[in-house]
Amino acid sequence: MANQVRLGIVGCGVVGSGVLRVLADRKGAWEGVQLAATHIAVRHLERPRPEYVPRHLLTDDWRIVCEADDVDIVIEVMGGIDVAHDVVRHALENGKSVVTANKALMALYGEELRDLASKRGLFLRHEASVLGGIPVLHTLHTYFELNRVQSLRGIVNGTCNYILTRMWETGVPFAEALQEAQALGYAEPDPAADVEGFDAYYKLQILLQALRVDTHLLQTEFVADGQPFVGAANSGKPLATLTKPRRGIDNVDAAQIEAARRAGAKVKHVASAVWGEDGIVHCTVGPQVLQPDDPLYFVDGVNNAIAITGDVVGTITLIGPGAGALPTASAVLEDVLQIVRESADKG
């Protein structure tokens, strides 16, 4: 891959536009590498776009992006599962490395797509699929070699964290805090994926996959083509299972928040995994009451955090912006540059 790296982008919503904004602001240049978008696939060609989105590069056919000779790396930021799965597979099958921010896709099909990339001698990176701008996958892949991970616990959904923070600070009920989050753009018009815990559930699976844990027992809640998804059994990896049903925050009421506040505690939505002596990774996704000595206690607003405990290092905590156009674009472009560096090393 030459010093000029050509990017095909599939999706130009919040994240895709954020990537193009950063490219425009930096003029595409990083330490001798020139990044340039050459094709951008969108659903609606006539939709208004920011001025930094080059309209002459737009197409409504994602296959053009995946097949173009002048694309080196495909960035998938369209969201959804089925079409996004087709996009990533098609890009890899056409010799393009891929960066994606798609958490549901990677939770469901991550192992399959990573295997395909490996067989083709390509790269598949997805840091932005977990905690936005927080480099947790990079940390897990590069630091936890000596250490055996004993547990990880995270506030991994900014929407839930914002709502619970506002309920704790002001005493407002869930519905009012949700409306405020929607008005500020922190929650979708249909917030079910966030407030019912699915988003955190997907992210936990990706984190476990990064640690080579078999998550197929978790994936029984997934539905693909109308049928329950069944992952590969007997992989030889530790197995992950939910110790209690996944829960969101839609049933957390003001009385529960007030009781925690009076006790000096906070209610947070936490995804957790604990490595048991039985060889099973015991997982939970749901609200927890946290005391002030908990590393996640002071993580408020839309921030995310993850506390990882290793058997040698102890507990380290990463905190930062878990969503938003620029933090997510940052993670996407860091992945792009990592692919460029590793491609150069392969030579």
Is 203 noted as a catalytic residue in this protein?
yes
| SS3 state at 127 | coil
| SS3 state at 28 | coil
Is 12 annotated to bind ligand?
yes
Q: Which two tokens stand for residue 319?
A: 């905190």
Q: Which two tokens stand for residue 266?
A: 């906070």
CA distance 257 to 260: 5
Is 346 annotated to bind ligand?
no
Q: Which two tokens stand for residue 329?
A: 């674009």
Q: How many CB atoms lie within 10 A of CB 316?
A: 15
Is 103 annotated to bind ligand?
yes
| SS3 state at 132 | coil
Q: Which two tokens stand for residue 9?
A: 């982008």
Q: Which of 27, 96, 119, 203 does the annotation list as catalytic?
A: 203
Asked whether 270 and 113 are in contact (CB, 8 A), the reply is no
Give backbone dihedrals phi and psi of 243, rounded to 5 degrees, phi first: -85, -15
CA distance 130 to 309: 18
Is 14 annotated to bind ligand?
yes
Catalytic residues: 203
Binding residues for L-homoserine: 188
Binding-site annotation, residues for NADP(+): 11-16
Binding residues for NADPH: 103
